[in-house]
Amino acid sequence: MNSSDLTPRSGYRDFVSLAILAAMFFIFGFVSWVNSILIPYFRIACELTHFQSYFVTFAFYIAYFVMALPSGMLLRKVGFKRGICWGFSFMALGMFVFVPAALAREFGIFLAGLFLIGTGLAVLQTAANPYVTVIGPIESAARRISIMGICNKFAGIISPLVFAAVILRTNDSELFAQIESGVLAEAEKNLLLDELIRRVIGPYSVLGVLLLLTGVGIRYSLLPEIGSDGGGTVAGQAGDGGRRSVFDYPYLVLGALAIFFHVGTQVVAIDTIINYAGSMGFDLLAAKAFPSYTLACTMAGYLLGIAVIPKYVSQRRALVVCTVLGLLLSLGVVLADFEVSLGGRSVHASLLFLNALGFPNALIYAGIWPLSIRGLGRFTEIGSSLLVMGLCGNAVMPQIYGYLADACGLRVGYWILVPCFLYLIFFATRGYRIEHWGFTRRKYEHE
């Protein structure tokens, strides 16, 4: 990152601030993407259907919708740095809730813990995204978001593997086969399930302590406080234009919907792939790497974005290309019907198309955010909260997929990706330019 990417506060403090933000996005990714292996793990240990197992993502991400606006109010009241400390505290509390949940093997208590973790992340995302957007010129915001995305997705690549290494055993394939065979006596099966689910107690207790310490450390770090004007940032780049609420900015509302559909496609592609691979003969130990493959493709997309945006390709043009590519890959998931040899094993092409979706998904979020948050003036904080609310697409889309998967088949459920990408193409080509509601009051900018 060169000096042109920084605000007039450039120097050591800005470097430290970026490093802190990168660490935060790593934590976001580690905590969020471990859900991809928690879903099949809870499905076995708590004896759930596919639809029920996707309440893992619902409970986790619905907190973004419920808590985004309260998060904005919390940040306004206590400041961004104290708010970040609160966010880490909520996450730690959610981790500690896993202890009684595991002891009781009660899925509902796990969901309460996941909601608390999601609440903490809602606070942290509401604070962190404006920091990343405003710490330099808006034209290179996609580049900085891409750098944060690499930290997030790298954590996502390793989190399922770390979870598997800590929680799973080499002989668990036989254990899972025994549990799902239906031949065990009820008492014997319950003993095995209790032992299986209680493996989460130690790791999540340690994570809770580490998150508490991280929150306190950031509270007293060199990360600067930013005000409602973003410290001479995005908020100051345009006036309110006489608008009285965030809903007077159509491109912001449409951008929140775009984030809803985008993150929905992302979490469906990652959090469902283990179960989908399982339907093709891969057990949990063999399928655990598939989310990491998808996230590796996402990292490749981020690296390409850093190299070419905005020097060779504008962030809006990259958004158009990525949304179209996402649509084509989604059609490949549901229509491709052939096998590919991979590592000496035959793999259905739809799995590889699902992995490849990570590549275009890398730059879609980075393109949507700056186009949606621009020129909000005094509404920047509340606008950020509205965009964070769009992250509840992570909660809703897997539930829709899970319902379709149980009713029609795991592969048929992926048709949900197609309308999502159609809307994203609309936003990338037209929606982001709508400045006023109504056909007679539209102004188009950033051609």
Write the DSSP assignment of 116-142 as a string of letters.
HHHHHHHHHHHHHHHHHHHTS-GGGHH
Whether residue 396 contacts residue 237, with contact meaning beta carbons closer than 8 Å, is answered with no
Whether residue 33 contacts residue 154, with contact meaning beta carbons closer than 8 Å, is answered with no
Query: Measuring CA to CA, how many Å separate 182 from each of 154, 185, 188, 205, 428?
Result: 38, 8, 11, 33, 50
Position of tokens 């992250």?
A: 391
d(CA 444, CA 447): 7
Whether residue 257 contacts residue 145, with contact meaning beta carbons closer than 8 Å, is answered with no
Please tell me what DSSP assigns to residue 224. Answer: P
| Paired residues of 340 in beta bridges | 347
d(CA 122, CA 134): 19
Helix (H, G, I), strand (E, B) or coil at 372: helix
- Nearest-CA neighbor of 135 among 330, 35, 5? 5
pTM of this prediction? 0.74
Residue 152 amino acid letter: N
Query: Measuring CA to CA, how many Å separate 381 from each of 53, 168, 229, 311, 341?
Result: 34, 42, 9, 29, 50
Position of tokens 């891409």?
A: 146
Contacts of 378 (CB under 8 A, 6+ apart): 228, 229, 235, 240
d(CA 133, CA 128): 9
pLDDT tens, the chain, 447 aa long:
343 343 444 567 777 878 888 899 999 889 988 888 888 889 889 989 888 998 998 999 898 888 877 887 888 888 888 889 999 999 999 999 999 999 999 999 999 999 999 999 988 888 887 777 666 666 666 667 778 878 887 888 888 888 888 988 878 778 887 877 777 788 888 898 999 999 999 999 999 999 999 999 988 887 777 654 444 344 334 445 567 778 888 999 999 999 999 999 998 998 889 889 888 878 777 788 888 888 889 888 888 888 887 778 887 898 999 999 999 999 999 999 888 876 677 888 999 999 999 999 988 987 898 888 888 777 777 787 788 888 888 889 998 998 998 889 999 999 999 999 999 999 999 999 988 887 435 444 444
Whether residue 333 contacts residue 352, with contact meaning beta carbons closer than 8 Å, is answered with no
The predicted pLDDT at position 220 comes to 87
Report the 10 Å Cβ neighbour count for 49.
Answer: 11
Whether residue 435 contacts residue 445, with contact meaning beta carbons closer than 8 Å, is answered with yes
Question: What domains can you pick out in the chain, each with its CATH number?
Answer: 7-433 (1.20.1250.20)
**Helix (H) or strand (E) segment spanning residue 346:** strand 345-348
Query: How far from each other are the two terminal CA atoms of the chain, in whole angstroms?
Result: 26
Contacts of 124 (CB under 8 A, 6+ apart): 24, 28, 84, 87, 88, 91
The predicted pLDDT at position 194 comes to 92
d(CA 285, CA 277): 11
The predicted pLDDT at position 447 comes to 46
Whether residue 56 contacts residue 35, with contact meaning beta carbons closer than 8 Å, is answered with yes
